[in-house]
Structure 1
Amino acid sequence: MNKKTELKYLTPLNIESKHKKKKCYFQNKKINFIDYKNFYLLKKFLNERGEICSRRATGTTAKKQRRLKIAIKRCRHIGLLPFTTDNFK
C-alpha cells in the first residue's frame, strides 16, 4: 500500500525563465565605432519623448552604452536630434 503517487500534467512545466537575455545591437551588427552623424541609427535608442533608453531596455553592453550616450549628446549639440519632444517617432 506504499505506492508513490506521481503528479502528471497535461503540459510540461516550464521552469526556465521566459525572458531571453537581450543581445547587444552593436556586437550583433559588428559595429565598432558609433558615429554621431548617423542619426538614423541613434534614433533607435531614444524613446518617444527623446530620452536615451537604458541598457536594460536596449540590451547594449556598458562600454557601448557609454559611447552611445556620447554620440547622442554630440548629435543633439549640432542639431541633428532634438533634446526633447512630444511626438518623436
Structure 2
Amino acid sequence: MRRERGRRAKRKVCTFCVEKIEHVDYKEAARLRRFITERGKILPRRISGNCAHHQRQLTTAIKRARIMALLPFTIE
C-alpha cells in the first residue's frame, strides 16, 4: 500500500523531439489540433508532455493558425 502512494507517473516525452521536428508549423492543423482541448484551449506543458522549447513554438503556431482560420478560437 505504501509503495503505491510513493510511486511516480511515467515522465511524458516531447512528441516533437521524438519525431525530430525542429520547427512547429502553423499550417499542420491536424497536428496542432491534438494540443487543444474540445473547448479550444491550448493544453499546458505538464499535460501535453512537450519540452519548453517546442511548447513555446506550439503556442505561437496555434495562435497563427487561429488568425489564418485553420483552427477555431472557440468551439460551441
- Partner Cα separation in structure 2 for residue 15 and residue 85 of structure 1: 38
Identity of aligned residues (%): 43
Deviation at 1:17, TM superposition (A): 1.9
Q: If the length of structure 2 is used for normalisation, what is the TM-score?
A: 0.89
Q: If the length of structure 1 is used for normalisation, what is the TM-score?
A: 0.77
Greater per-residue helix proportion: 2
Corresponding residue number in structure 2 for 1:55: 45
Q: 1:11-44, CA deviations, whole angstroms, 9 ceiling, x for partnerless residues?
A: xx55762410000010111111111001000000
Aligned Cα root-mean-square deviation (Å) = 1.4
Structure 1 segments, 4+ long, off by >6 Å, are none
Corresponding residue number in structure 2 for 1:81: 71
SS of equivalent residue, structure 2 residue 9: coil
Corresponding residue number in structure 2 for 1:72: 62
From the superposition, tell whether residues 29 and 16 of structure 1 become closer, same or farther in structure 2 (CA, over 3 Å): farther
Higher RCO (CA 8 Å, separation ≥ 6 residues)? 2
- Partner Cα separation in structure 2 for residue 17 and residue 29 of structure 1: 29
Aligned-partner residue type, residue 21 of structure 1 = R
- Partner Cα separation in structure 2 for residue 17 and residue 26 of structure 1: 27
Corresponding residue number in structure 2 for 1:28: 18
